[in-house]
Structure 1
Amino acid sequence: MHSLPPLQTTTTFNRHIHNNPFLCSQFLLHEMLNSVDAQLSGAAALEPLSTSSRGRNSRAFDGTPLRDLIFECAQAVSRRDLDRSLGLLGYLASEVLHPEYGDSGERVGSYFTRALAHRVSRHIMASPSSSSSYASHSGLLNSLRIPDPPSQQQIHAAYLALNRVTPFLRFAHLTANQAIVEEMEGEEIVHLIDFEIMQGVQWPPLMQALAERTGGPPHLRLTGIGSSADILRQTGNRLADFARTLNLPFEFLPLVVGSVEQVTARMLSTREGEVVAVNCVLQLNRLLQRGPDMLKAFLEMIQTLRPKVFTLAEREANHNQHQFLDRFTEAYRHYEVLFESLEATLPPKSPDRLTVEEVWFGREIANIVSCDGSDWVERHERFEQWREIMASAGFHPLPPSTFALAQAKLLLRLHYPSEGYRLFEMNDCLLLGWQDQPLFTVSSWH
C-alpha cells in the first residue's frame, strides 16, 4: 500500500479541472446541498450532550492518561467486573469534557465512555442479581446515557454535514461515478440502482458527465432506494429538475424499503435493452449482522441483474470482531484518527463538526461498543475481506483508471487542502485516509 504520486505540472492540473465535469459541477452540487440544508435545518437541530466537567484535564488519577483509563475501563467491562467498571465510569463522568469543547482526544473519549456506560447498563439489566447495583448507580449511568436515536431529518442533515466538511463521501461518490461513466460509455439506456440514495447528492455530477458525453446522452433510469417515501419524493423531484436543465432523458424510480436486504430483483423493474449499474455506499457492511447467508443471498440477487459495474464504498476498519476488547481497540484507533482529521480541518465550535460527531460517528461508536448479537449493526470490514466476499460471489475487480486516480487527487487539492489527507492504492481499489491510516475504500466490480 502506498500513497499516490502528486500530479506533475500546473498545466496538467488546470487541464484536468477544465475537462472534468465531476469537478466543474461542484458549484451546482453546492447549490443543491444548500437547498436541502434549508429544508432540514429546522427539524434537525441537536440538543447538547449532558456530560458534566470540572475543566480541561486529559490526565486521570495517579497520572494515568485519560485514554489509558478508558482502556482500563473497557477491560473491566469485558471481565464484567461491575465494581471496577462503575468506579472508573464515575471518575470519567467528571473528567471527560463535553464534545463541543474538548480536543479530539477528549471528544472521542467522551463518546467511548458513554458507550461503555451503556454496555454496563445492558449487563446490569440482563442480570436480576445486579438490580441493586443499578439502583445505587442510576444517577451516574443516566448522566452518561446515550441520547435518543436521531430522527430521519437529523440523520439526513448529518449526512449532508459529513459530505460538506470531510472529503470521504465526495471521494467515494467521485470515484464510483468515474467507474460508472467509463463502463457506460456508448450505452443507450442506463439503469442506475442506488442502495440508500439519501438526498441524491452523488448524482448531479454523474448526470452532467452523461449529458455532455460525445455522441449524445443516454436515457438514464435511476432507482433510488430508501426508507422514507417523502425524502425519496423530494430527492426525485430535485434530480428530475436538474436533468431538465441538462436535457438529459431521465426517470426516477423510488423504492421504499425498511432495509437493503428486503430488496428483491422483481422490485427493481429492470427492462430488456438497458445496462445496469449498482451503487452501494456504506451499506453492505450492515448485512454482516444477518450472517453470511444473508450477504450471500443479497450478492446473488445483484448477480441476477447482470450489472456491468457494481461500485462499493466501505470503511477501512475491522469492527466485526466478536472478542469485545479486540473490537473496542480497533474502533478506538479508527475513530481517534477520524476525530483528529475533523479537529485539523474545522474550528473547535463548528456546528457541522458537532453534528457529524454526535449523529454520525457517535451513534456508530455506541453501536460497536455497547451492542452484541442482532443489535450490533455496525460491522465494518477491511478491503481484504470484502475482496474475498466479492470474489466468492462471482464478482471480479475493475482497477481504477489513471483518470480516476488523478481526479481523486484533484478533489483533495481543490476542496480539502489539508496536508493530512492521503490517497492510497491497494489491490485494485482506492483508499482515502488521514496521515498514515486508511479510513475509507472505494472499489468497482463486474
Structure 2
Amino acid sequence: MDYIGAEIPNPPVISYLAPEQKESSFLPLTSLELLKQHGTKVKRLREGNLKELNTDTSTNTSGHQALSTANIMKLARAQLLELNSQKADVLSTVASYIGAQSALSSEVSDDLGLAILLQAAAENVFNQQYVYARKLLSICDNFSSKSGNPAQRIIHYFAESLREKIDREWGIISSTSEDLEGKVKKPMDEKLAMISLQPGMMASQQENPFCLVSQFTAIGSIRATVASAKKVHLIDFGLDNGSHWTLIMQDFAARYDCPLELLKITAVGTSKPMMEETGKWLSSFANSINLPFSFNIVVSDLKDLKEEIFKLEVDEVVAVYLDKRLWTMLAWPNYLEALLGVIKNLKPCVMVVQEMEASTNNPIFLERFYEGLIFISGTFESLNDCMDNHILYRKLTEEVYCRNMIQNIITAEGSERVHRLERVAFWRALFAKFGIVETPLSRSSFCRARLLLKRSARYSSFTIDMDGKCLILGWKGTPLISVSAWKFQHD
C-alpha cells in the first residue's frame, strides 16, 4: 500500500533546527573511483611524498570535506592494493612520513597513512604474520587516540582490537579476557552504560537526522496501516525510552472522525525496571491528551517468546515494531527463525523493521574487518556531527557501545561473536521463507520527516536512497540504517 496521496500535516516548529540548507552535490565514491580521482596524489605517496596528498581537505559547496572518514578508509584500501601489487614494503613506504613536519602536513594525509597501516596490519593478522602486524600497529598507536578526530579515534579502537586478537592467538590473554596477572577482567556493562546515556541520547535525538527520518517514517507507516482500527495493539521488541510512540499517540488522540477505543502497547525486553519506568511515562502522556491507553510488559529473552504471552484480543489490530533487534540473534539462527514464527502467529497487519545496514556476519575475518571499518567510520562521523552539543554522551557511546562492537567483530569467533549485521537483501531472503513480503513505507510520513530534515543544518551530510521498497539512510554516502515495512501471507 502506498500513501502518496495522503495529506501531510504541517510539521511542528522545532527551535533547534537551522534554516534550510541547499542539498549537497556529494555522491559516494567507490574505492576504484577514489583511486582514479586522486591517482596523481596517490602516486606521489607511493613514491615517498605522503605530505603532498593534501588536496583531499578541500571542501564541497556545502562546506564539508570532500573526503569523508569512510572514503579515507576506502582510498586507503585502494592504495594498499596498489602497494601490494607493486610488492612494496608498506612500513617503509608509508610510516616514515606520518607525523613528520606536522605543522606542514595535511591532517587528511596523516589519517590516510594511518588507515593504510591499519588495514595492512589486518591483512598480516589474517595471514598470521603477527610480528610485522604489531610493528604496523605500534605506529597507529603513536599517532591515533580516542580524543582525536573521527578517523584517529576509529584507528585507535581498531588497532586496540587487532592487538588483542594477536595476544589471544599468542596465548597472552584467553578468550575469558584474563589480564597479565591471571585475573578475569570485568567487561564494560553495555546495559548500565546505556542507562547512563539516556538523558543525552534523548536530547541528541532531537538534533539527529537519523531519528527524524527513521522514526517518522517507521512509526508513520504503522499509523497509516492501522488508521481506521478502533483497538490497536502495538508490540515493541526493544522499547528504549518510548518517545517514538508519542507521534502515533498524538495522531490517535486527534482522530475525531473515528475515535480510538483503546491503544495497547506491549514492550518486550529483559529490563523490567526500565520498561516499567517507560510505561509510567507513556501512560502519563496518554492521560494528558485523553487517549484510552494500556501498557503491558513481557520480560523475556527473544529466544524464549511464545505467542500466548501476548494475550491478544479478538477485535484488536496488531502491529509489530522491531528496532535493531533481529541482528542480535544472528549468532543463533534457529532462535531467530523461531522468533519470526512467533511473530507470524501473532498475525500482525504490518511489521516495521529498522536494522543497521552493513554485513559483519561474514565468516572470513578480513571481509568483516573491512565491512566493520566502513560502517563504524560512517557511524563515528555521524555521531561527531550530530552530538556536538552532547560530547560526553558521544564519548560514552563510542567508548562503550562502539568499542565493544569493534572488539567483538575482530576478536570473537563462533557464538561469542554476537555483533553480526546483515544488509536488507539478507532479511528479504530470510523473510521470504516465512511468507513475509515487503510493502511500501508511508510516503506521507517520509515527506513529513524530510520537511523537518531539510531545515536541519546537517541536511547536506544526510543521504537517502531506496533499495526496492526499503529506505536506506546514510551519512556522507555511507549506508547506516535500513527502514522497511512487511506484511504476512497467512495460510
TM over 0.5: yes
Match of 1:104 among 146, 150, 155: 150
Which amino acid letter does the alignment assign opposite residue 203 of structure 1?
Answer: W
- Match of residue 425 from structure 1: 466
Match for 2:444 among 403, 412, 435?
403
Offset from partner CA, 1:263-299 (integer Å, 9 cap, x none) = 22122221211111111000101111102x3222211
Q: Report SS of the residue matched to 2:436.
A: coil
Indicate whether 1:228 and 2:271 are aligned: yes
Matches within 5 A, 1:284-303: 284-291=326-333, 293-303=334-344
Give the conservation status (yes or no) of the 8 Å contact 1:115–1:370.
yes
- Contact 2:230 2:316 survives alignment (8 Å): yes
* 1:90-114: CA deviation from partner (whole Å, max 9, x where unpaired): 33333322x23x1111011111112
Query: Greater share of helix residues, 1 or 2?
Result: 1
Amino acid corresponding to residue 193 of structure 2 in structure 1: Q
**CA displacement, residues 170-211 of structure 1 (integer Å, 9 cap, x when unaligned):** 432221111111110111111111001122122111111111
Question: Of the candidates 116, 139, 142, which is equivalent to residue 68 of structure 1?
Answer: 116
Counterpart residue type for residue 264 of structure 1 = K
Tell me the SS of whatever aligns to 1:381: coil
TM-score normalized by structure 1?
A: 0.79
Deviations 1:296-349 (A, max 9, x none): 221111110000010100011111111000000111111112222333445498
Write the distance in 2 (CA, Å) between the matches of 1:349 and 1:226.
27
Partner secondary structure for residue 220 of structure 2: helix
One-letter code of the match for 1:153? L
Q: Structure 2: how far apart are the matches of 1:349 and 1:67?
A: 27
For 1:381-396, list aligned pairs within 5 A.
Answer: 381-396=422-437
Superposition pairs of residues 25-424 of structure 1, within 5 angstroms:
61-63=95-97, 65-97=113-145, 99-100=146-147, 102-125=148-171, 148-158=187-197, 161=201, 163-164=205-206, 166-213=208-255, 214-257=257-300, 259-291=301-333, 293-347=334-388, 350-415=391-456, 417-424=458-465
Structure 1 111/163 Cα, relative in aligned 2: closer, same or farther at 3 Å? farther
Contact 1:198 1:226 in 2 (8 A): no
Length-normalised TM-score, structure 2: 0.72
Shift of 1:127: 9.3
Give the corresponding residue for 1:3.
none
Q: Secondary structure at the match of 1:200?
A: coil
What are the Cα deviations for residues 66-87 of structure 1, in whole angstroms up to 9, with x where unaligned?
A: 0111111111221233322333
Per the alignment, in what secondary structure is the counterpart of residue 330 of structure 2?
A: helix
Report the 3-state secondary structure (helix = DSSP H, G, I; strand = E; otherwise coil) of the residue aligned with 2:331: helix
Tell me how far apart the structure 1 counterparts of residues 185 and 384 of structure 2 sit (CA, whole Å): 23
Q: 1:157–1:205: structure 2 CA closer, same or farther, 3 Å change rule?
A: farther
Q: Is the 8 A contact 1:104 1:343 kept in 2?
A: yes
Instruction: Specify whether residues 326 and 348 from structure 1 end up closer, same or farther in structure 2 by C-alpha distance, changes over 3 A only.
Output: farther
On the 8 A contact 2:190/2:400 being kept in 1, the answer is no
**Does structure 2 conserve the Cα–Cα contact (< 8 Å) formed by 1:25 and 1:204?**
no
Unpaired segments of 5 or more residues in structure 1? 1-14, 28-58, 129-133
Q: In 1, Cα distance between the equivalents of 2:268 and 2:275?
A: 8
Provide the alpha-carbon RMSD of the alignment: 2.9
State the alpha-carbon separation in 1 of the partners of residues 141 and 324 from structure 2: 32
TM-aligned CA distance change 1:206 to 1:124, over 3 Å: farther
**Secondary structure class of the residue paired with 2:252:** helix
> Alpha carbons of 1:403 and 1:125: their partners in 2 closer, same or farther (altered >3 Å)?
same
CA contact 1:167–1:416 (8 Å) conserved in 2: no
3-state DSSP of counterpart to 1:396: strand
SS at match of 1:397: strand
User: Counterpart of 2:233 in 1: which secondary structure?
Assistant: strand
Q: Amino acid of the residue matched to residue 105 of structure 1?
A: A
Match of residue 12, structure 2, among 10, 14, 24: 24
Deviations 1:386-426 (A, max 9, x none): 11111221111110232133123123224553311021122
Structure 1's consecutive aligned runs of 4 or more residues displaced over 4 angstroms after TM superposition are none
Flag the structure with larger Rg: 2
Cα deviation code 1:95-153 (max 9, x no counterpart): 322x23x111101111111221222233233999xxxxx99xx59xx9xx998323533
Query: What is the distance in 1 between the residues matched to 2:274 and 2:383?
Result: 28
Q: Distance in 2 between matches of 1:188 and 1:348?
A: 42
Deviation at 1:362, TM superposition (A): 2.3
Gap change, CA 1:346 and 1:180, over 3 Å in 2: closer
